[in-house]
């Protein structure tokens, strides 16, 4: 190959690996203008088009590669991927098997066929392929990840646990304990999970906001005549979920304070057991002992049979800044089924790409008659494509407003967000849409939540498959 042409191909590879897709496309095309007979160039261009979701173009350039070299494995694998994404699984399997016949131990061919078989529902054969690959390459991360997904689809929690235990090798010390804690909690092993979760307090930079109180940590024992400060940690949903313990704390002692996020302060003050709520950033009154909300499940020795699930434990505060405006807004849907809706969480969340739905995925819900949809969605420009959707976001100054608006709903449909926790805490019927591998608090393989009796869970049947979730939701909601 002409050295100048080779430089063009290397540049395309470099841009592709760097995620600069549009520049990489141009670089591949520049190379192929001067090296029209390069099967590798056409095959790699097909792979990039496949990643971009341009399936017809990907298929055409892969077929061009195969016209030049009918035995080009990358072209066969990328063509199989395009056929899979188009739903043509039988054709895709044929191309996968052609690629695998050329190199029976090639990881890319094995993974492609395992992916296709998984999509077809042939989970036993997919599992066997992945296990054989891992016998020769035990550290292959993508194979481990795919086997975990197959284990979830099969409901094989022992095999899933085995795969997740393997991942713990990447961690050490407190980080390993923290990671193992979330695995235990996901599998319902709460007693061990809460104990290991205390490792979070030893990981620099993990706790937000950072804490350095001189007062001793509460050990869970009686504290009559003294004042205990409970303080928030992590996200809004965590505060809403674990403030439920306040009444149990109060039963053991004197005065109970809570420091909470400013936007939650008015709302969580309605929780039984709290004598005073202080917004984070305000001056704290004197106190004798302190504990994080996230340590309370451990202090109360919580297991699946002892979760404090008495709801509601939160209510609408007396002061609601936008009460009248929200009431006027809700009056327009009188006589209809009012449904609250939120489809996306904070983009800053490390798993936001998994847990948030694209607004377009909700379009089928427009078929439901007699439903007045009300959007509680904040921070997303694209509205859900539902006729007559009422946007409440401009009226939701803080969670006092949100609680008041939520109290007017007959039903809530929510991604894994703070709104789901608030609906659960207020005992408002909620349908929560979960990613394939959920956060620990939603456990595995169940449609109910032991934390929130009014919540029903809708889980992705495959990674990224929101269409099936919405279809099942629609079927359940149809009159």
Whole-angstrom Cα distance, residue 343 to residue 277?
30
8 A C-beta contact, residue 430 and residue 412: yes
pLDDT tens-digit map of 401-420: 999 999 999 999 999 999 99
User: What is the average pLDDT across 170-186?
Assistant: 94
pLDDT tens-digit map of 111-163: 999 999 999 999 999 999 999 999 999 889 999 999 999 999 999 999 999 98
Task: Kindly provide the residue ranges of all beta strands, DSSP E only, lying in 315-367, ordered along the sequence.
Answer: 337-342
Whether residue 25 is predicted with pLDDT greater than 70 in this model: the reply is yes
Whole-angstrom Cα distance, residue 90 to residue 88?
6
User: What is the average pLDDT across 422-442?
Assistant: 96
Q: What is the pLDDT of residue 351?
A: 74
Confidence of residue 16 (pLDDT cuts 50, 70, 90): confident
Q: What's the CATH fold of domain 37-167?
A: 1.25.40
Q: What is the pTM of this model?
A: 0.87
pLDDT tens-digit map of 365-399: 999 999 999 999 998 778 899 999 999 999 999 99
Please give the share of the chain, as a percent, with pLDDT higher than 70: 99
Q: Which contacts qualify for 268-272: CB closer than 8 Å, 24 or more apart?
A: 268/239, 268/240, 268/243, 268/314, 269/317, 270/314, 270/315, 270/316, 270/317, 271/243, 271/244, 271/246, 271/247, 271/313, 271/314, 272/246, 272/247, 272/313
Q: What is the pLDDT of residue 1?
A: 56
Average pLDDT of the residues of the chain: 93
Domain range 223-299, CATH class: alpha beta
pLDDT tens-digit map of 266-275: 999 999 999 9
Q: What is the pLDDT of residue 2?
A: 67
Q: What is the pLDDT of residue 426?
A: 98
Whether residue 304 is predicted with pLDDT greater than 70 in this model: the reply is yes
Q: What is the pLDDT of residue 169?
A: 87
Q: Among the listed ranges 276-285, 351-360, 451-460, 468-477, which one has the minimum average pLDDT value?
A: 351-360
User: What is the average pLDDT across 349-374?
Assistant: 90
Task: Kindly provide the residue ranges of all beta strands, DSSP E only, lying in 217-357, ordered along the sequence.
Answer: 223-231, 253-260, 276-279, 289-292, 337-342
Q: What's the CATH fold of domain 323-477?
A: Rossmann fold (3.40.50)
User: What is the average pLDDT across 293-315?
Assistant: 97
Q: What is the pLDDT of residue 61?
A: 93
Which residue from 252, 449, 368, 246 is spatially nearest to 260, judged by alpha carbons? 246
DSSP designation for 282: B
The residue ranges of every structural domain in the chain are: 1-30, 37-167, 171-202, 223-299, 323-477
Whether residue 323 is predicted with pLDDT greater than 90 in this model: the reply is yes
Please give the share of the chain, as a percent, with pLDDT higher than 90: 78
pLDDT tens-digit map of 330-344: 998 988 999 999 999
User: What is the average pLDDT across 36-49?
Assistant: 89
User: In DSSP terms, which residues pair with 282 in a beta bridge?
Assistant: 280
Q: What is the pLDDT of residue 113?
A: 97
User: In DSSP terms, which residues pair with 391 in a beta bridge?
Assistant: 375
Whether residue 212 is predicted with pLDDT greater than 90 in this model: the reply is no
User: What is the average pLDDT across 448-471?
Assistant: 95
Which residue from 116, 127, 124, 125 is spatially nearest to 93, judged by alpha carbons? 116
Whole-angstrom Cα distance, residue 341 to residue 17?
38
Q: What is the pLDDT of residue 33?
A: 83
**Does 323-477 match 223-299 at the fold level?**
yes
Confidence of residue 219 (pLDDT cuts 50, 70, 90): very high
Whether residue 110 is predicted with pLDDT greater than 90 in this model: the reply is yes
């Amino acid at each position: 190959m002409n050295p100048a042409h080779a430089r063009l191909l290397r540049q395309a590879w470099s841009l592709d690996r760097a995620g600069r897709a549009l520049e990489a496309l141009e670089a591949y095309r520049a190379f192929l203008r001067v090296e029209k007979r390069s099967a590798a160039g056409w095959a790699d261009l097909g792979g990039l088009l496949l990643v971009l979701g341009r399936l017809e173009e990907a298929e055409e350039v892969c077929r061009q590669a195969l016209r030049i070299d009918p035995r080009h494995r990358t072209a066969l694998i990328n063509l199989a991927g395009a056929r899979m994404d188009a739903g043509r699984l039988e054709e895709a399997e044929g191309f996968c098997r052609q690629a695998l016949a050329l190199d029976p131990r090639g990881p890319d061919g094995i993974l492609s066929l395992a992916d296709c078989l998984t999509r077809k529902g042939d989970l036993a054969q997919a599992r066997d392929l992945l296990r054989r690959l891992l016998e020769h390459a035990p550290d292959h991360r993508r194979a481990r990840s795919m086997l975990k997904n197959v284990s979830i689809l099969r409901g094989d929690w022992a095999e899933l646990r085995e795969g997740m235990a393997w991942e713990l090798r990447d961690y050490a010390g407190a980080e390993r304990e923290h990671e193992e804690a979330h695995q235990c909690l996901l599998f319902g092993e709460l007693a061990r999970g809460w104990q290991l979760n205390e490792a979070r307090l030893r990981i620099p930079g993990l706790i937000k906001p950072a804490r350095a109180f001189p007062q001793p940590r509460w050990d869970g024992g009686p504290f009559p005549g003294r004042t205990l400060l409970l303080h928030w940690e992590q996200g809004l949903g965590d505060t809403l979920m674990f403030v439920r313990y306040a009444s149990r704390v109060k039963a053991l002692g004197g005065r109970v304070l809570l420091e909470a996020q400013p936007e939650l302060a008015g709302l969580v003050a309605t929780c039984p057991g709290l004598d005073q709520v202080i917004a984070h950033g305000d001056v704290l009154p004197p106190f004798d002992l302190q504990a994080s909300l996230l340590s309370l499940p451990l202090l109360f020795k919580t297991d699946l049979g002892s979760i404090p699930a008495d709801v509601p434990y939160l209510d609408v505060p007396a002061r609601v800044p936008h009460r009248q405006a929200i009431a006027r807004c809700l009056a327009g849907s009188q006589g209809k089924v009012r449904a609250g809706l939120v489809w996306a969480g904070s983009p800053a969340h490390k798993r936001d790409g998994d847990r948030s739905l694209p607004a377009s995925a909700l379009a089928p819900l427009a078929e439901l008659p007699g439903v007045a949809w009300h959007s509680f969605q904040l921070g997303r420009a694209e509205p859900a494509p539902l006729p007559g959707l009422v946007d409440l976001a401009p009226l939701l100054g803080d969670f006092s407003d949100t609680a008041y608006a939520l109290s007017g709903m007959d039903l809530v449909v929510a991604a894994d967000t703070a709104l789901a926790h608030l609906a659960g805490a207020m005992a408002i019927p909620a349908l929560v849409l979960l990613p394939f591998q959920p956060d620990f608090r939603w456990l595995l393989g169940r449609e109910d939540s032991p934390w929130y009796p009014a919540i029903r869970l809708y889980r992705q049947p495959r990674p990224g498959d929101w269409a099936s979730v919405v279809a099942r939701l629609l079927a359940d909601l149809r009159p």
